Structure 1
Amino acid sequence: MRHKNSFELFDYWTEKRGKRAAPSRTDIEPADIRTLLPHVFICDLNDDGQLNFRLAGTALCALHGRELKGTAFAALWLADGTRNAGRTGASVASAATPAVLSLDCLSNGGRVAQAEMLLLPITGPSGRNDRLIGMLSIFEPPYWIGHEPIVGFSTTAIRFLDQDRDPLFLANRPEIKLPNAPNFASGFTNNRRQVGHLVVLDGGRRD
């Protein structure tokens, strides 16, 4: 973890967890994390193994320019990353293993911002591991955040966390780089051009 908000939510989750694998949803008091709430979301796992947004903070919805409640968690990713994102989120919820994702966030104007997503397991009313609480934190938010909706995430790395270790030493679970993740920062920024009111991203075959 690198973002201070991630450390704050992780510390709160750890306190509420106690000696359990995960805290209950009812243990989470919104007033306790009021400064983080705009960036926080809760997802639940349905019978088909798909994560869906149960709640989504105002900042997260504004970032995408739409209400996220009821939508699929994996739908926030670009097409080539949806399957991996869905599996990662489902694994956090069902196996009670926290994770941190490093993300590239692509806007509809072809711009890119870097972010960190923390995923933490929680239990529902049944006591089963079928939910997670998460948070998205943008690093050094650029001026266009909130004006150009994010059209998709690309996961550049994943780190699974050992919840029994102090957060300062969470590097004991090394970050797993994803070699096939597109490099938006150098690609889309250089290869975009304006055509009328649209931004065209050059790509595809050259032969």
Structure 2
Amino acid sequence: MPPLTLAPDHGSLMSQPLSDLVGRFRQERLQVLEPESAVGKLADHPKALTLFRAWQKWCRGRICPERADVEPLDIPALLEYIVLLDVEERDFRFRLVGETIANRYAIRLKGKTITQLMAGSSLDETLYEHRRCAQDRRPVLVTHTDAMTSLGDTRSYSRLLLPLGAQGPRASHIIGVMQFYR
């Protein structure tokens, strides 16, 4: 698949259908998961699997749980690997950042948006991944291996993004977990 080009005002894409979303990304690192079959696809990602199972419990038969349904006591071993983001009109703002993630990136993430922290192709990919989660209101698994370091991120990790808040046309928050491999 040839690289796509980012529309000039990529921030306004949040309200457009995903079929119109363009940007440069590597599809092989992104999986939009069906909740019914996600457990098998998360088997190699133990932290993601643990958060996914808690998320399923919080759903209580709904498409996704509300932010108020998140119970940290259900995931105490994950808290240092968790992020909570507010879905804004054009971006995603870090509301909570676990200690391991904060230490790994060595910059203050809390309170900042993705576009304040990233640029170029990495920004395009990251916004696309988060938009897919928020707009589709489905789990998104991102894997970044040593073979995928062409965008300048030398970290090997997996990241699971899960939507929170089913009212309205998209999720109002995203909860995620990162698992670092080196």
Shorter-chain TM band: 0.5 to 0.7
CA displacement, residues 59-104 of structure 1 (integer Å, 9 cap, x when unaligned):
1000011221112235555621211211220221232011100124
Higher strand content, 1 or 2: 1
8 Å Cα contact 1:44/1:51 also seen in 2: yes
Count residues in correspondence. 135
- Matched with 1:135 is 177
Bigger relative contact order (CA 8 A; separation at least 6): 2
What stretches of structure 1 move > 4 A for 4+ residues in a row? 74-78, 104-107
1:86 aligns with 2:112: no
Query: C-alpha separation between the residues in 1 aligned to 2:117 and 2:133?
Result: 17
User: Structure 1 length as normaliser, TM-score?
Assistant: 0.58
- Matched with 1:45 is 87
Query: C-alpha separation between the residues in 2 aligned to 1:94 and 1:135?
Result: 19
Q: Unpaired segments of 5 or more residues in structure 2?
A: 1-41
What RMSD in Å do the two structures reach over aligned CA positions?
2.5
1:59 aligns with 2:100: yes
Q: Which amino acid aligns with 1:99?
A: V
1:71 aligns with 2:112: yes
Offset at residue 42 of structure 1 (A): 0.5
Query: C-alpha separation between the residues in 1 aligned to 2:69 and 2:57?
Result: 10
Offset at residue 112 of structure 1 (A): 3.4
User: Structure 2 length as normaliser, TM-score?
Assistant: 0.66
| Structure having the higher Rg | 1
SS in 1 for 2:63: coil
Q: Unpaired segments of 5 or more residues in structure 1?
A: 142-207
Higher helix content, 1 or 2: 2
User: Where do residues 30-179 of structure 1 align in structure 2 (5 Å cutoff)?
Assistant: 30-47=72-89, 49-73=90-114, 79-104=120-145, 112-123=154-165, 127-128=167-168, 129-139=171-181, 141=182
